[in-house]
A and B are shown apart, each in its own frame.
Chain A
Amino acid sequence: MTQQNRISGGQIDRSRTLRFTFDGVAYAGHPGDTLASALLANGVRLMGRSFKYHRPRGPLSAGSEEPNALVELRAGARQEPNTRATVAELFDGLEARSQNRWPSLAFDALAINDRLNTFFTAGFYYKTFMWPASFWEKVYEPIIRRAAGLGSLSRQEDPDSYDKGFLHCDLIVIGAGPAGLMAALAAGRAGARVILADEDFRPGGRLNAETLTVGGKPGAEWAAEAAAELSAMPNVRIMLRTTVIGAFDHGIYGAVERVSDHLPVPPEGKPRQTLWRIYARRALLAGGATERPIAFENNDRPGIMLAGAMRTYANRYAVRVGESCAIFTNNDDGLRTATDLQAKGVDVVAVIDARSEGALLPGIRHLKGADVIDADGRLGLRSITIRHAGGRTETVPVTALGVSGGWNPNVNIASHHRARPVWNEGIQAFVPGEGGPPGLSAAGAAAGVMSTHGALTSGQQAAMAALGDLGIRASAGTVPDAEDAPVSITPKWYVNSGKGRAWIDPQNDVTVKDIKLAHKENFTSVEHMKRYTTLGMATDQGKTGNVLGLAIMAGLTGQTIPETGTTVYRPPYTPVAMGALAGRSRGKEFKPFRLTPSHKWAEEQGAVFVEVGMWLRTQWLPKPGETHWRQSVDREVLATRKSVGICDVTTLGKIDIQGTDAGAFLDRVYCNTFSTLAVGRCRYGLMLREDGMVFDDGTTARMGENEYVMTTTTANAVTVFRHLEYCRQVLWPEMDVQLISTTEAWAQFSVAGPNARRLLQKVVDQDISDAAFPYMAAGSITIGGLRARLFRISFSGELAYEIAVPTRYGDALIRRLVEEGREFDAVVYGTEALGVMRVEKGHVAGNELNGQSTALNMGLGKMVSKKKDSIGMVLSQREGMNDPDGYRLVGVKPVDPTATLTAGSHFLEIGAAPVIANDGGWLTSKVHSPHLGCDIALGYLKAGDQKIGRRMRAVNLLAGTETEVEIVSPHFFDPEGERLRG
């Protein structure tokens, strides 16, 4: 197709032609175009459908405030719903489709909603669809859900990458229009570190859209020169295609840079977008203003747009929206569109000026005191109806209408800390109010300074003020000459005419009637109006419609506009791709992996790994021929109990505790006593939270008079260390105690089983006979001269040791142990076998240490010493935590040894109904014990200590299964502990 609406001039590169398709039809445009400008150049005004009524729509704007021209951009996994055609840069091969229509954009079956609009008023759905009750989910809602929504996701993984970055500056300037450029020049010339960010791909802001001059040059040329000067400054960073999305605390600004969205695919190694966190000492909001329309009947016809946008299309993109245009305005800025279009040779049929006063434009049919009261042309504007000052109406054929109701400063960022903007009577708009983000000021149109010269001046002044705050010396340069016209506006919000609908929020189909209905039903506060009518909740967040809506509500209630107030402005300024916010944290890279020292070795053996917090641990190590995990785990358990097994336990938290008060410190953080522990010995410790619940457990060794080594559970390694630092620094700073986490510093292996000593004796340099190194001994040893630590502790119930070497020797040690263990048929076992053996032995672990259990629940109540103060000691004595019939840890065995148990099953007495009143507790951990040849479990059972030997049922209602069980001691294996002392 030809670009029949392309006119002269503009900032497009006519030397190159870009091919693109919209709904499968091929078109051509030029570099510098947006998708919207290129479509308009090709005579395409219809670009979308509205949300509720599926009304045909064309672009309302030429910027990021666009509510109508939303498309699905790209195809396949890169399909991108709801992309605003007005900001999508054209590239060769661009593919776009209209959305929210079926079967086609020109014929949309759901446009039936528009015919039925009288039923679909604001909030109608709250009053119906209630009968019969079951029909909501089954009938009404599915229909509504299918009809709702805008564009579609591909449901495939986003193939592009995203990045995050951090920047620091003295001054961030948000917006590179005249105010922002001038501010950046002033600050940059003074040597300040400046970031100048603009959402557009071309600096200059409105200067690119106007025929105005700055310093005697075309505004766009001045802007380009200013940007060039700034680019040459090493202390200034210009960030185009970068939207500042929000002002956060303490001068932190979020910004999204669209690095590759203007390209067919991101270049190799480049992200699609980058989220920047910008730390700024001062900030200047120079984000300009957004034009607002005037509502009148059928003001949503494709071809009707904001007058300033029409000017942008003409001046910047060299596009006329239609062959014949009209302008409807209540302010002087609208007149500029008429004169600019006429200068471009576009036929301006009439200027309908709502104001009665003022001079007439020369050479144009300028109608004073007139209104546009209707528009015709379902798929594209054909005519408008004008009501003249005297009341006479006239229908005029036009294909484009520019509407201006005034300009709203973009106060969003200044209001992100919930500061309420204040009403400026002179420009009939809200400007930034007090209480905005500290360190942020506003300049130019964002501050309500609407002339070019005013913007340049206020930008420079605001920068000077910010620099002054920072103690950076700067001298004010001269402000270039530019127009300095005052704002002339007479408020006009909507044209009261017939019974038709006049749109305020075109995407969500909120009309003046809806506002009136909201008023009638007393949804009169702005928040109620917004929520009831959905005004401003569309993808454009009401950038063009909100002020209109609240002004109309103000008119209905008799309040002033500032009394009516605004809703709250919240980030992001424009919608942000989820991918950009997530950055690289996705897929396997969602969180880092922590690998154990034996990981490489285990990988070589074909180990199966399991996620344990951030760690990957060996779950089991299958041998050739083993087809089921149980075969491997049973083998690992039996071999360990028969001879010897090796397990990487590096993930347990390790904390070195040193100082003259180390023992006294441990007495306070553990509920049992450690100061009396002999040097060279270790002890099981139980740590409570201050509320008396069990926090963590582990074994702590006394390595020297003033030196202890604590171990924690894997899960609590970080939180226990944090807690100990809290105790040390905050609660008892008078104690002489120092801490360091050595979890990563030591590779630690458990060596367990009857042959554990024989195996280890081959490796270590010292005598570790029972006499020399008895049960619960601990000490520093050497392995071929290498410093190491040895603890004779057992989680498995076997004769067992834990041996630690500096982490970098961990891989060597596992290989050595495996090698030396061959003569004993040593196995390496994983977390499953570890779990089996600890349940057989009745040790608590994560499932029992659930943060909801007391020492008493675990059968460890006697460990809580009352003779000394320790964290949690006092509150553990509360009556509710000492119920004699409360939960107690028990062992569970199926009566039929072939029956299976399920962790999470609940205890019920034989014959008791499965209701909560009969609930006896639950099975916490279940394993299959190859030693006992049946499933066994631990559980918390009410008054469990009184029920040993009793038969109950373990019921899993989720699976509809139950098993008769015997309640037994949790110590299934070697209850006397003879083996571990062996």
Chain B
Amino acid sequence: MIIHHPILGPRDSQEFVYLGDASLMNRPDGLTAGIEAFHDYLYNRDNPAGEHRELWYHEQGDRSWLVVTRNTVTHEIVRVELARDVAKAAGRTK
């Protein structure tokens, strides 16, 4: 597969390490959320057959974590973003 890195352009997916569903970005606050919330966050997945937002890490590259929107049936990639930008856009700012 080829991942179009937002900064570095097209890169072979072999340069990356895969983590999983981008919902892992939405970590509950450990001081307010309890075991059940963390359990759902860490263990349960939509696991869709179709479009999937997922986290990839450019380990053999610039160490960016990316959010890749990829179809799990066709493997077509429709969007690649820096995870940092996605997280900030979702409200993770100072």
Q: Which residues of A contact B (CB under 8 A)?
A: 248-252, 279, 417, 438, 690-691, 718, 722, 725-726, 729-734, 868-870, 873-875, 877-878
Contacts and interface: CB of A to CB of B under 8 A. Distances in A.
- Residue among A248, A726, A731, A733 with the highest chain B CB neighbour number at 10 A: A733
B30 A873 contact: yes
B39 to A, nearest CB: 7
Nearest to B1: A249
Given A730-B65, A730-B84, A869-B29, A875 B1 contact: no
Interface string B45-67: 00000000001010100011100
A323 B27 CA distance: 80
Given A729-B64, A730-B25, A730-B87, A874 B34 contact: yes
Contacts of B78: none
A489 to B, nearest CB: 35
Nearest to A438: B76
Interface of B: 1-2, 17, 19, 24-25, 27-31, 33-35, 38-39, 42, 55, 57, 59, 63-65, 74-77, 82-84, 87-88, 92-94
A730 B2 contact: no
B88 to A, nearest CB: 5
A419 B42 CA distance: 36
Contacts of B25: 730-731
A568 to B, nearest CB: 15
25 contacts: A249-B1, A249-B2, A250-B75, A690-B42, A691-B42, A722-B57, A725-B57, A725-B65, A726-B55, A729-B64, A729-B65, A729-B82, A729-B83, A730-B65, A731-B25, A731-B87, A731-B92, A733-B84, A734-B88, A734-B93, A868-B31, A874-B28, A874-B38, A875-B38, A875-B39
B87 A869 contact: no
Given A725-B65, A729-B64, A877 B42 contact: no
Contact of A870 (B30, B35, B74, B94): B30
Nearest to A870: B30
Contacts of A730: 24-25, 55, 65, 83-84, 87
Given A730-B87, A732-B92, A734-B88, A250 B30 contact: no
Given A722-B57, A725-B65, A729-B65, A734 B77 contact: no
Nearest to A248: B1
A875 B57 CA distance: 25
B63 A731 contact: no
- Residue among A251, A722, A868 with the highest chain B CB neighbour number at 10 A: A722
A325 to B, nearest CB: 49
Contacts of B94: 734
- Residue among A722, A726, A730, A873 with the highest chain B CB neighbour number at 10 A: A730
Contact of A733 (B24, B55, B77, B92): B92
Contacts of A722: 17, 57, 59
Contact of A869 (B30, B64, B83): B30
A691 B43 CA distance: 9
A249 B65 CA distance: 22
Those 3 A-B pairs whose CB atoms lie nearest each other, nearest first: A869-B30, A250-B2, A733-B84
Given A249-B2, A734-B88, A878-B35, 17 more contacts: A250-B77, A718-B59, A729-B82, A729-B83, A729-B87, A731-B87, A733-B84, A733-B87, A733-B93, A734-B93, A734-B94, A873-B30, A874-B33, A874-B34, A874-B35, A875-B38, A877-B35
Contacts of A733: 83-84, 87-88, 92-93
Contacts of B63: 725
Contacts of B29: 869
Contact of A252 (B2, B28, B31, B33): B2
A726 to B, nearest CB: 6
Nearest to B25: A730
B27 A731 contact: yes
Nearest to B65: A729
B39 A250 contact: no
A438 B74 CA distance: 10
Contacts of A690: 27, 38, 42
Contacts of A691: 42
Contacts of B64: 729
B7 to A, nearest CB: 13
Contacts of B34: 874
